Amino acid sequence: MPPHSDIVKVAIEWPGANAQLIEIDQKKPLSSIIREVCDGWSLSGSEQFALRYADGPQLYITEQSRSEMKNGTILRLAISPARAARQLLDRIQSHGIDARLEALKELAKLSADPTFATEFINMEGIGTLARLVESGTHFGEMLAFTLTAFLELMDHGIVSWDLISLSFIKQIAGYVNQPMVDVSILQRSLAILESMVLNSHSLYHRVAQDITVGQLIGHLQVSNQEIQTYAIALINALFLKAPEDRRQEEHNNPLDQRLTEMASTLAQKHLRSIILNHVIRGNRPIKAEMAHQLYVLQVLTFNLLEERMMTKMDPSDQAQRDIIFELRRIAFDGENDPSGMEKRKAIYTKDYKMLGFTNHVNPAMDFTQTPPGMLALDNMLYLAKLHQDTYIRIVLENSSREDKHECPFGRCAIELTRMLCEILQVGELPNEGCNDYHPMFFTHDRAWEEFFCVCIQLLNKTWKEMRATAEDFNKVMQVVREQITRALAMKPSSLDHLKGKLRGLSYSEILRLRQSERMSQDDFQSPPIIELRERIQPEILELIKQQRLNHLCEGSCFRKLGNRRRQEKFWFCRLSLNHKVLHYGDLDESPQGEVPLELLTDKISVSDIKSVVTGKDCPHMKEKSALKQNKEVLELAFSILYDPDENLNFVAPNKYEYCIWTDGLCALLGREMGSDLTRSDLDTLISMEMKLRLLDLENIAIPEAPPPVPKEPSTYNFTYNYG
């Protein structure tokens, strides 16, 4: 008798017959199990059959995946992957239109299965689908199913994208360039082009030759947000793979430029305004995938600054030195230079000191540190040229102050540029799953430079408000960083809105916020308050625990790890009301509202759970080397380890859900809830509860120790006699 842990009880269906309820011995070969099942229905040729899941994606069960079967799983006896692949390939090449359509429809569904995909590809199925597309004779649903199957098969990574023919690329590009094409065909065509660009260097050049910015702009003006998302995803892919020399080029006719020059074109007004008006300010809420693509576009656009940020100034380069001369000339209005060399040097040294450079003799040396390198000088020149009045006002205003209170413009501009690069993470690749885009950066052709101009004025204003001296430089920069980060967190929709937010975050307001935060901490440091806090804490922790468990009972939807270019696949998990069982199962789409337990076919007993692991300790993070390097995914990953050596893997949709679920699972296991959210909730709720309890003691100083007990009176004659 095999051990209990090796036995899985399942139901197996076959059309027109009663289901078989059998016990599968996991140590027994799968072929033997299939043979026994076939014998039960008197079916010959068991080697022509296989087992598939009856629900969800209906994947084939293999020797590698059989361990994922759970008790109570419903399976279906089906023809083997090789036989199914051969039949579909024959039907696809048949002359009957209806038969071919049904075959392509079924193929589009089966292609997501890696076992079937391997068999189909081994039969030269990819080439057959490519020839169907190249022929140009398929339209409508038939073409949509063909492209879907092709993309699903290629996304398994079994076949190299480099094998794709030039005629196939031209045909797909033609669908994108057609003014009136079916939405499903356009979606898949854009997705295929994106995959080509991301997976093959040679295909990047071929795609970029066939697609222009003007052709993609039309797809950004449609009302279908999915089409817009695929179009921006293709722009991002081409932008990401563009050679460095192409990214920095300037062009005068952006709509006619090939996508090899996409990076330079992105700064052009027409494309930016289309994205702003038809996507960001459209009539539809921005979905998560669109927000991610806008975030990627923002990051890639700012990364164009990396080269200048990491370029040191060459003090011997006359062209670069001329920029510093130009800054001096604009600030001091081209005063007549003295004729003598010594006098001229003395005047220059004085002017450079007034401009706020650290090195008064040779200010070029101030730009030899990276970051920010030459990017700081670019920002200063932009301010001087495009906002000349502001530039002159800042310089002259500070040069007329007392020496100890003057704000050194040059030093401030260099340090501010470095700070902005850190805040906006210039030079870093986009994070998978991050949606943190800022609409205001899409409202101006020179958003970075304008952002700098707003911030340098803020710095000058804060310097005056703080009555700072040179010794206070670092303190001022800390305040300015806090002002900027607080304002950005409010997601201003334009640069004017940003200015309004920053006006509300004056130095006095920052002090008030800091003092408020500090007082809320200091108020609770006296011994009586600490004792009261310790008494309240267990009640609050129990309240937080119940909130976490209630959330688990409502359940959450999780996205399956996979290729972003594929259609989103989801699964749902929730805790039973008696807190004894976790129910989970696959879903076709993200649910709206609560998912009934009846639809969740799999379950885990809480009593079987051994532990909860997070981050790089999760099995699915160890298995996928690419994901291990993705900090964003690692921070949202957690797994349940349960008997007998099984695991259920999660990637939370956001940090909030991650904290809720890890806390809830730890609470179920009787362990401490240690997430950042728990600490934050605990502090907030305890603070609120203590303020309510201490309301009657407002403005009354609470002593450090209880008052002393007075001595007993010498007599008690003062007592009343009521007799």
Q: Is residue 88 part of a domain?
A: no
CATH number assigned to the domain comprising residue 658: 2.30.29.30
Give 48-55's long-range contacts (Cβ < 8 A, gap of 24+).
48/79, 48/80, 48/83, 49/77, 49/78, 49/79, 49/80, 50/77, 50/78, 50/79, 50/80, 50/81, 51/12, 51/75, 51/76, 51/77, 51/78, 52/76, 52/78, 54/13, 55/585, 55/586, 55/601
Within this chain, do residues 543 and 439 fall inside the same structural domain, yes or no? no
Among the candidates 270, 285, 300, a domain finishes at 285
Looking at 516, 551, 566, which one is the last position of a domain?
516
Cβ-proximal residues to 531 (8 Å cutoff; 6+ apart), any chain: none
Instruction: Output Rg (C-alpha) for the chain, integer angstroms.
Output: 34
Q: Are residues 590 and 504 in the same domain?
A: no
Report the predicted TM-score, pTM, of the whole model to 2 decimal places: 0.73
- Are 434 and 333 part of one and the same domain? yes
CA angle 402–404–405, rounded 5-degree value: 70
Q: In this structure, is residue 333 part of a structural domain? A: yes
Pairing of the two strands 637-642 and 609-614: antiparallel
Q: How many CB atoms lie under 10 A from the CB of residue 533?
A: 16
DSSP H helices in 242-287: 244-247, 262-266, 269-275
231 is written with which tokens? 């179009």
- The residues, any chain, with a CB within 8 Å of residue 533's CB and separated by 6 or more, are 524, 686, 690
Using CA atoms, how far apart are residues 407 and 461, in angstroms rounded to an integer? Answer: 10
Side-chain-facing half-sphere of 624: CA atoms under 13 Å: 17
Q: Within a domain: residue 128?
A: no
**Tokens standing for residue 565:** 């270019």
- Asked if residue 499 and residue 572 are part of one domain, the reply reads no
Name the domain boundary from 460, 487, 516: 516
How many Å apart are CA 541 and CA 446, to the nearest integer?
Answer: 50
Based on the structure, what is the number of domains in the chain? 4
What is the CB-side half-sphere exposure of residue 440 using CA atoms within 13 A?
20
Q: Which amino acid is at 357?
A: F
Output the pLDDT for position 625: 45
Pairing between strand 74-79 and 7-13?
parallel
Domain extent for 460: 310-516
pLDDT tens for each residue of 255-280: 444 544 444 444 457 788 899 999 99
Residue 199 lies in a domain: yes
- What pLDDT, in 10s, does the model give residues 551-584? 999 999 988 776 554 555 788 999 999 999 999 9
Co-location of 503 and 552 in the same domain: no
Question: Which residues have CB under 8 Å from 602's CB, separation 6+?
Answer: 70, 72, 73, 583, 584, 585
Q: Are residues 327 and 456 in the same domain?
A: yes
Rounded distance between C-alpha atoms, residue 346 and residue 357, angstroms: 15
CA 182 to CA 178: how far, in whole Å?
A: 10
pLDDT of residue 334: 53
Residues 141, 288, 639, 645: what is their CA dihedral angle, to the nearest 10 degrees?
0
- Domain shared by 392 and 268, yes or no: no
Residues 209 and 240 in one domain: yes
Q: Give the pairing type, strands 581-587 and 602-605.
A: antiparallel
Residue 666 within a domain: yes
Peptide bond into 706 cis (omega under 30): no
Token digits for 186?
Answer: 């356009």
Does any domain span residue 147?
A: no
Q: Cα–Cα distances in Å, from 19 out to 22, 374, 496, 508, 596?
A: 9, 73, 68, 75, 25
**Is there a single domain that holds both residue 349 and residue 454?**
yes
**Which portions of the chain are predicted below pLDDT 50?**
1, 248-257, 259-267, 336, 338, 340, 565, 625-629
Q: Are 280 and 378 found together in one domain? A: no
The verdict on 549 and 502 lying in the same domain is no
Question: Based on the number of CB atoms within 10 Å of its own CB, is 592 exposed (0-12), middle (13-18) or buried (19 or more)?
Answer: exposed
Task: Establish if 295 belongs to a structural domain.
Answer: no
State the residue for tokens 């059989």: 66
For residue 302, tell me if it sits in a domain.
no
Same-domain status, 235 and 379? no
Between β-strands 570-575 and 581-587, what pairing exists: parallel, antiparallel or unpaired?
Answer: antiparallel
